C-alpha cells in the first residue's frame, strides 16, 4: 500500500515537471514595461503626470493590438511601482521590476536623487532604463543601459544666460537658489559660470541661497534688490517660485525674474497668480500655442484628466514612445529576457532624429539626448506661451 | 450541569489550546529545521506549486504583492503559503521534535556560543536559500536587517535610558559618509577622490574596519548631544538632538568634497547578505549584553529617577555619555552598511522622514526590549514593502496601525521584556 502511494506521488511529481515545460513553451510572450514613479511622497503631482501619460500610452497600444516586432504583435503590460520619492524605495522598485516582474524596459524614476541610484541597479542587471526628467549628469554617466529624455543642466545654464543677455542686454544678474537640493544648486552654479563667462567675473552681483522648506526669503531678496541686479534667476520648484516672486514684488523688485524647467509645473501659475505673469523660464515644451502632435497630446490629456499636462507628463510620453520605437526596431522578441533587453537597448541607442512632442532627439554616446530648449513666457492669462527655441550648436 | 456545546468560540479556544500544547513541545531548533524544509521546498518545487495554483510565478513576498494587485489570485496565494510554508514547517517541526529536543538538550550542556552559532547557522541557511530565489528579496532583507540595527541602537537611548533623542539619522549619516569616503577613497575609481589607492581585492576584508571607523566618528558626534544631556532632559534634549540632526545635514550639504547635496555614488558592493547578517547579529548580541550588564541597570535607574540614581552612586554623567556614544556607534555602522547596499548616499535621505520611520519602528515594537525592536523593525519594514501596491492608502493603514498599537499597548507590542538567548534555545522536554 505504502509503496503504491509512493509510486503515485512520484508519478504525479513527474507529470507536473513535464507539464510545466510543455506549458512554458506555449506561453504567450508579454512585453512588460516598468514605470518607477513618485506616486506618494514629496512630489505626488510628478508621479500622477507620469502615471497618466503611461496609461494614455498603454491605451494607444491596446487599441493597436500591441507592439509590432518583426511582423508579430505582442501584448503590452505596464508595471507601475510607487517609489515614494525616496532613493531606497526607487532602488527597491527597480530591483523588484527587473528580477521579479521581468520587465523589458523601465521608464523612470523622475527626480535625480532617485534616478542616480536606480540607474545603477538597472545598469548592473543590464536592463535598459530611461529617466524622462532627471537632469543630473551622473544618472547616465558610464552607464550604457541608462538613457534620459531631457537636456542636462550644463546645457540649460548657458541657454538662459545667453537668452537674458540677448533679450534684455543686461549685464548684472542675481541668483537665488536652494543650497540643500541638488538640482537648483547645480543649475545655479552652471548659470553663474555661463554668465560670468559672458560678462566677466563679478557680474553675478548676488548669489544668495536658502534651505529646502524655507518660506521666508525677505533677507535674501532685500540683499538682491539692493545689489543693483537687473535680473533675478531662481531655478526653484513651483511651491517656492510662488513665494519668491510674490515676496520679491512686495520688496519692490521690478525687474524680470527668470526660471528653469522646474517652473514648468501646472501648479506654478495657480499658486503664484498675477505676480508670475510676464516672467520667462526655459523648459522642454510650451503648452500654449502648440501644434501638431504636441497639441493632440495636450488636448487629449486635458480632456481625460482635466488639466494641461506639465513637462513631466510630456517627457514621459516621449520616453515611452522612444521605448516603443526601440522595441519595434529591435528586430525580434525572443522571449529570453536578457537577450531582448540587450537588443532593445542597442536599438534605442541607434535612434536618430526621433520626432517627439518635446522636440527632436538623437542620443549621444552617454545616452543623453541632443535636443532644443524652449523659452516660455507666462502670458497675461497665465498660460505658458512659446517664446523662442534655443538649440545646441 | 454544564453542557458541552460546540460553539465557534469554544472550537477556536480548543484549537488554540491544542496549538499551544503542540508548540510548547517544539524547540527553536525544530522550527528552524521546519523553516529550512519550507525554503527548500520553495526552492525546488515553488514554480510547480505556483503554476498549479494559477499564480503567474512564485510569490516574492509571501504573496502580499500579488494579493493586493490582483485580488482574484488570493485563494491561490493563500494556498501557496499553506502548501509551501505552513504545512511543511508544521510537519517537519513535528516530525523532528524529539531529535531536535535531544540536540537542544545536548547543546545546552556546552558553552552558549556554540549553541547560538548552530542556531544562527540554521537561520542564515534559511535566509540564504529564501533570498536565492530573487534579488528583490535580498535587497528587502538587507534593508530590514539594517533597520533592526537602527531601531535597536535607538532603543538603548530612547528606551533604556529614557531620553528622547532625535539625532539618530544624523549619526547614521555620519557613519554612512565616513564609511563611503574611506571605501571610495581607497578602493574605487571615482570622480570625488580619484584613483583607488589600494588594490580592490583587499576591499571586502577592509570593509569591517571602515564600518568601525564610521561608527567611531558617529560616536564622537554623539558627544555633542551627550554633554548637553547632563543638564537637560525631556523635550529640551529632544530639541537639541533635532538641532544636531539639522546641523549634520547642513554640514554635509555644504561640504563639496563629499558631493554636497548631490551625494556620493558608486560605492563598491561590499554590503552583501552574509556581511549584513553578521554585523546585525553582532549588534544584537552586544546590545543585548550591554543592556543586561551593570551599566544597563544603571541606564534604567537613570531613566526612572536621575536624582535617586545619582545618590545611589550611579555615575549619571558617565552613563549618559557611554550610552549616547554606544547607540551612535551602532547607528553609524548601520549607516555604513546602508550606504553600501544602496551604493548611493545623499544628505536628503537622512532627514525628518528617516527619523519618523525609525521612531515608528521603535515605538511599534516596544521600548526597553531587544525582541520588541526586532519585531518592530521587521514588521514595519515588511508591511511598508508589502502594502506598496496600495499607494496612498499605505500611508493611512500603517499610521492607523500605530495608533491602534498605542491605544491598546501604550509601550509597544513587546515592551520591557528581557531577551534571553539561553531560554529561547532550550530543550522543550
Query: What's the pLDDT tens digit per position in B90-105?
Result: 899 888 888 898 898 8
Distance CA A46, CA A237 (A): 12
The per-residue pLDDT for range A219-239, each reduced to its tens digit, is 999 999 999 899 999 999 888
Residue A138 contacts B where some CB pair is shorter than 8 Å: yes
Whether the CB of A25 is below 8 Å from some CB of chain B: the reply is no
B interface test, pick of A40, A109, A190, A235 with most B CB neighbours within 10 Å: A40
pLDDT digit string, tens, across residues B262-297: 888 888 889 999 999 999 999 999 999 999 999 999
Predicted local confidence at residue A16, as pLDDT: 54
Q: Note the pLDDT of residue A195.
A: 94
Mean pLDDT on A356-380:
88
Per-residue pLDDT, B5? 60
Residues A173-190 pLDDT 10s: 999 999 888 888 889 999
The whole-number average pLDDT for the span A252-272 is 87
Answer for the pair A229, A206: CB distance below 8 angstroms, yes or no.
yes
Position A217 scores a pLDDT of 93
The CATH class given to the A31-150+290-301+312-372 domain equals alpha beta
Chain B neighbors of A211, CB-CB under 8 A: 250, 253
Mean pLDDT value of segment B46-50: 86
Q: Judge whether B62 is closer than 8 Å to chain A, CB to CB.
A: no
Q: Give the model confidence (pLDDT) of A294-325 as tens digits.
A: 899 999 999 999 988 888 899 999 999 999 99
Ranges of beta strands (E only) in B96-138 are none
On average, the pLDDT of chain A sits at 87
Q: With an 8 Å Cβ cutoff, are B143 and A87 in contact?
A: no
Same fold, A31-150+290-301+312-372 and A153-283: yes
Q: Tell me, what's the pLDDT at A188?
A: 93
Percentage of chain A surpassing pLDDT 90? 50
Smallest Cα distance from B139 to chain A, Å: 7
Each residue's pLDDT tens digit, A321-361: 999 999 999 888 888 889 999 999 999 998 888 888 888 88
Report chain A residues whose CB lies below 8 A from the CB of B387: none
pLDDT tens profile B209-262? 999 999 999 999 999 888 888 888 788 999 999 999 999 999 998 888 888 888
- Is 70 exceeded by the pLDDT of residue A252? yes
Q: Worst-scoring range by mean pLDDT, A62-71, A197-206, B4-13?
A: B4-13
Which residues from B are below 8 Å from A16, CB to CB? 48, 51-52
Domain edges within chain B? 11-132, 139-349
Averaged pLDDT, B25-42: 90
SS3 B267: coil
Answer yes or no: do A40 and B392 touch at CB < 8 A. yes
Residue whose C-alpha is closest to residue A83's, from A123, A52, A113? A113
Residue A296 grid coordinates = 493632440
- Supply the CATH classification number for the domain A153-283: 3.40.50.2300
> What are the backbone angles phi and psi of residue A107, rounded to the nearest 5°?
-110, 125
Residue ranges of domains in chain A: 31-150+290-301+312-372, 153-283
The predicted-structure confidence for B127-153, as pLDDT tens digits, reads as follows: 999 998 888 999 999 999 999 999 999
Residue B247 pLDDT: 93
**Bond from prior residue into B264 cis (ω within 30 degrees of 0):** no
The ipTM estimated for the assembled molecules is 0.86
Q: Look at A14-28, B106-120, B256-270, B342-356 and tell me which has the smallest mean pLDDT.
A: A14-28
Give mean pLDDT, residues B183-199: 82
pLDDT over 70, % of chain A: 94
pLDDT digits (tens, 9 = 90+) for A50-108: 999 999 999 999 999 989 888 888 999 999 999 988 888 999 999 999 998 889 999 98
Amino acid at each position: 500500500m505504502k509503496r503504491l502511494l509512493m509510486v503515485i506521488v512520484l508519478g504525479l511529481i513527474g507529470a507536473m515537471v513535464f507539464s510545466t515545460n510543455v506549458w512554458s513553451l506555449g506561453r504567450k510572450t508579454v512585453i512588460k514595461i516598468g514605470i518607477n514613479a513618485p506616486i506618494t511622497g514629496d512630489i505626488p503631482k510628478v508621479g500622477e503626470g507620469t502615471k497618466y501619460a503611461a496609461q494614455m500610452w498603454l491605451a494607444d497600444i491596446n487599441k493597436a493590438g500591441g507592439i509590432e516586432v518583426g511582423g508579430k504583435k505582442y501584448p503590452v503590460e505596464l508595471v507601475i511601482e510607487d517609489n515614494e520619492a525616496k532613493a531606497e524605495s526607487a532602488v527597491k522598485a527597480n530591483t523588484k521590476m527587473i528580477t521579479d516582474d521581468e520587465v523589458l524596459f523601465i521608464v523612470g524614476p523622475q527626480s535625480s536623487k532617485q534616478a542616480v541610484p536606480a540607474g545603477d541597479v538597472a545598469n548592473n542587471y543590464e536592463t535598459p532604463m530611461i529617466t524622462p526628467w532627471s537632469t543630473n549628469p551622473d544618472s547616465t554617466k558610464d552607464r550604457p543601459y541608462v538613457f534620459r529624455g531631457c537636456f542636462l543642466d550644463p546645457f540649460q545654464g548657458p541657454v538662459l544666460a545667453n537668452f537674458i543677455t540677448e533679450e534684455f542686454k543686461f549685464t548684472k544678474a542675481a541668483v537665488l537658489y536652494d543650497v540643500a537640493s541638488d538640482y537648483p544648486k547645480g543649475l545655479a552654479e552652471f548659470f553663474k559660470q555661463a554668465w560670468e563667462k559672458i560678462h566677466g567675473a563679478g557680474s553675478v552681483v548676488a548669489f544668495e541661497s536658502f534651505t529646502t522648506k524655507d518660506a521666508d526669503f525677505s533677507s535674501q531678496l532685500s540683499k538682491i534688490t539692493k545689489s543693483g541686479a537687473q535680473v533675478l534667476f531662481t531655478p526653484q520648484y513651483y511651491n517656492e517660485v510662488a513665494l519668491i516672486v510674490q515676496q520679491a514684488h512686495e520688496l519692490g523688485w521690478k525687474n524680470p525674474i527668470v526660471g528653469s524647467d522646474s517652473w514648468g509645473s501646472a501648479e506654478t501659475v495657480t499658486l503664484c497668480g498675477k505676480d508670475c505673469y510676464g516672467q520667462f523660464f526655459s523648459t522642454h515644451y510650451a503648452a500654449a500655442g502648440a501644434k501638431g502632435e504636441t497639441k493632440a497630446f495636450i488636448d487629449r490629456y486635458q480632456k481625460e484628466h482635466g488639466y494641461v499636462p506639465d513637462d513631466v507628463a510630456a517627457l514621459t510620453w516621449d520616453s515611452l514612445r522612444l521605448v516603443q520605437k526601440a522595441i519595434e526596431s529591435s528586430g525580434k522578441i525572443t522571449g529570453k529576457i536578457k537577450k531582448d533587453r540587450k537588443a532593445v537597448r542597442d536599438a534605442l541607442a541607434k535612434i536618430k532624429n526621433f520626432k517627439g512632442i518635446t522636440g527632436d532627439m538623437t542620443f549621444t554616446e552617454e545616452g543623453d539626448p541632443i535636443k532644443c530648449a524652449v523659452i516660455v513666457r507666462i502670458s497675461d492669462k497665465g498660460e505658458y506661451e512659446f517664446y523662442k527655441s534655443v538649440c545646441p550648436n | 450541569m454544564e453542557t458541552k456545546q460546540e460553539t465557534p468560540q469554544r472550537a477556536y479556544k480548543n484549537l488554540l489550546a491544542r496549538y499551544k500544547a503542540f508548540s510548547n513541545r517544539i524547540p527553536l531548533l525544530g522550527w528552524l529545521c521546519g523553516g529550512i524544509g519550507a525554503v527548500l521546498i520553495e526552492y525546488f518545487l515553488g514554480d510547480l506549486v505556483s503554476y498549479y495554483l494559477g499564480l503567474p510565478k512564485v510569490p516574492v513576498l509571501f504573496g502580499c504583492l500579488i494579493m493586493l494587485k490582483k485580488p482574484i489570485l488570493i485563494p491561490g496565494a493563500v494556498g501557496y503559503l499553506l502548501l509551501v510554508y505552513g504545512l511543511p514547517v508544521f510537519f517537519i517541526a513535528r516530525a523532528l521534535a524529539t531529535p531536535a529536543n535531544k540536540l537542544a538538550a545536548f547543546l545546552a550542556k556546552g558553552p552558549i556560543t556554540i549553541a547560538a552559532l548552530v542556531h544562527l547557522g540554521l537561520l542564515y541557511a534559511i535566509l540564504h536559500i529564501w533570498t536565492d530565489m530573487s534579488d528583490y528579496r535580498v535587497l528587502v532583507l538587507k534593508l530590514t536587517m539594517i533597520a533592526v540595527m537602527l531601531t535597536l541602537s535607538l532603543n538603548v537611548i530612547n528606551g533604556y535610558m529614557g531620553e528622547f533623542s532625535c539625532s539618530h539619522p544624523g549619526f547614521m549619516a555620519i557613519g554612512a559618509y565616513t564609511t563611503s569616503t574611506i571605501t571610495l577613497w581607497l578602493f574605487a575609481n571615482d570622480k570625488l577622490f580619484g584613483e583607488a589607492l589600494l588594490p580592490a581585492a583587499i576591499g571586502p576584508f577592509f570593509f569591517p574596519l571602515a564600518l568601525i571607523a564610521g561608527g567611531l566618528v558617529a560616536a564622537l558626534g554623539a558627544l555633542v548631544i551627550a554633554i548637553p544631556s547632563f543638564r537637560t532632559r525631556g523635550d529640551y534634549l529632544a530639541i537639541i538632538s533635532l538641532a544636531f540632526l539639522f546641523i549634520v545635514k547642513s554640514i554635509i550639504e555644504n561640504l563639496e568634497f563629499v558631493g554636497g547635496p548631490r551625494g556620493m555614488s558608486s560605492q563598491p558592493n561590499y554590503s552583501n547578505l552574509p556581511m549584513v547578517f553578521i554585523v546585525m547579529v553582532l549588534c544584537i548580541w552586544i546590545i543585548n549584553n550591554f543592556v543586561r550588564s551593570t551599566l544597563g541597570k544603571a541606564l534604567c535607574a537613570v531613566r526612572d529617577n536621575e536624582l535617586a540614581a545619582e545618590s545611589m552612586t550611579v555615575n549619571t554623567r558617565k552613563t549618559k555619555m557611554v550610552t549616547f556614544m554606544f547607540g551612535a556607534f551602532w547607528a553609524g555602522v548601520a549607516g555604513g552598511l546602508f550606504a553600501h547596499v544602496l551604493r548611493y548616499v545623499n544628505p536628503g535621505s537622512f532627514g525628518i522622514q528617516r527619523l519618523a520611520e525609525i521612531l515608528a519602528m521603535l515605538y511599534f515594537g516596544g521600548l526597553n526590549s531587544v525582541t520588541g525592536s526586532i519585531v518592530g523593525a521587521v514588521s514595519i519594514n515588511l508591511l511598508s514593502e508589502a502594502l506598496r501596491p496600495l499607494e496612498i492608502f499605505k500611508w493611512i493603514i500603517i499610521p492607523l496601525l500605530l495608533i491602534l498599537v498605542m491605544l491598546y499597548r501604550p509601550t509597544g507590542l513587546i515592551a520591557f521584556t528581557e531577551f534571553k538567548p539561553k531560554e529561547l534555545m532550550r530543550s522543550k522536554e
